[in-house]
Amino acid sequence: MNVVRVQSLLSGLWAGLLLAVGAVAAPSLFAVLERQAAGTGAGQIFQMEARISLGMAILLFVLERRRVRDLVEEGQSTSAMSATLLMILGALFLTVFGGFVLHPIIQAAKAGQPTALSFGALHGISAGLYWAKTLLVLVLAWRLSAR
């Protein structure tokens, strides 16, 4: 099994998922549904995306750690860290923070519960983190496809 090819395929699929959700699915919901129903649907889609992203990040992390460890053992590298590994960890952090920390706070703000920031501010932060993760995964897929 060629680990780099598998990593390239997985990162490309992940990038496609992020683009499909953020640029197609969520905006389409708001184009055809009432705002509240679209928001509920988009929230469900983003939660599913977060779980899939978590799995993809963990799988890519395990594959990259194995690849880098093998390079160190073969004497082809002196570092157990790689730029690819850092990008995967960055995307993993953004997934966990956005999907599992920020999302519940957004839901609380949406329900009228007191939060440190308004719903709009939280939504803006969430969107920024999502597109940062998308860009990071696109760069990851691009780099892996060049190996």
Number of structural domains in the chain = 1
Rg (CA), the chain: 18
Question: Tens digits of per-residue pLDDT, 49-59?
Answer: 999 999 999 99
Q: What is the tally of helices (H) and strands (E) in the chain?
A: 6, 0
Per-residue pLDDT tens for 92-143?
999 999 999 999 999 999 999 999 999 999 999 999 999 999 999 999 999 9
Distance CA 138, CA 88 (A): 11
Q: How far apart are CA 37 and CA 19, in angstroms?
A: 21
Domain range for 130 is 3-145
pTM: 0.93
Q: Which two tokens stand for residue 56?
A: 């993809």
